[in-house]
Amino acid sequence: MFPPRLIKEPLVWRLGQKFRIVTNIRQASVTDEIGIVSLELDGPEDQLQAAIRWLEKLGVSVEPVEINVLES
């Protein structure tokens, strides 16, 4: 979940530029008050963890979801 101050920031694009990961938007809902994105991330484990820490440091709430949940 993105707080209002980050909704217009291209954070998904920045993730792919800053870290060696591939992003895939599975679902998104964005309003003026909140942005909720279901984002699939693929890449080396160290890069995935660094990307998640970076997002959390910016104020993004990250809730990991197992891939089999998304595929069913």
Q: What is the CATH number of the domain that holds 29?
A: 3.30.70.260
Residue 67: inside a domain: no
Cβ neighbours of residue 14 closer than 8 Å, sequence gap 6 or more: none
Q: Domain tally for the chain?
A: 1
Q: Which range of residues forms the domain containing residue 40?
A: 7-59
pLDDT of residue 29: 94
> pLDDT exceeding 90 applies to what percent of the chain?
75
Residue 16: inside a domain: yes
pLDDT of residue 72: 47
Query: Residue 32: which of 61, 56, 68, 8 has the closest Cα?
Result: 8
| pLDDT (tens digit per residue) in 32-53 | 888 999 999 999 999 999 999 9
Q: Is the pTM of this model over 0.85?
A: no
